[in-house]
Amino acid sequence: MSLLTPLPNTGTHSGWASVLLLVAPLLLGADDGYLREIEEEAKRQAATVTIDQSPPNPTAATTANMGETTADRLASGLNQAGFEQALRENLPGTYALYQQFDAARKQKVYAAYQNDNRLAGITEQVIQLLGATP
């Protein structure tokens, strides 16, 4: 009987399975930064959703129309470059998705912003276009 007998074939399968178990978390973790960014954006948006029972402040509405960003809206009347900058500053996760779009989809998001400058509305439009086939 020889000491150099070949190992059964099942050993190689378990070897590959071990390698896959070690590599899979690394491959799955590739998007952790992206997911972390989306989670941070969700936390920021959740923090801005508050119930305010005080009467609306007329000067706040006027200020929002003059180009300042409020807690739940982007400034109105921005050109596309200004819109993209405000989107990047206020909704970095949504902006990351927006950057993946072609020019036509970016234009649709910008047009949606012109009709509804709420952060939630802009994010919703990006998500809808993300799921749409080109």
CB 75 within 8 A of CB 87: no
Smallest CA-to-CA distance from 95 within 114, 75, 79, 109 is with 109
Instruction: Pull the structure tokens for residue 87.
Output: 């989107």
Task: Output Rg (C-alpha) for the chain, integer angstroms.
Answer: 25
Q: Give pLDDT tens digits for 48-83.
A: 655 555 555 544 444 444 444 567 899 999 999 999
Q: Give pLDDT tens digits for 1-11.
A: 555 555 555 55
Q: Give pLDDT tens digits for 12-41.
A: 555 666 655 665 555 555 556 777 777 777
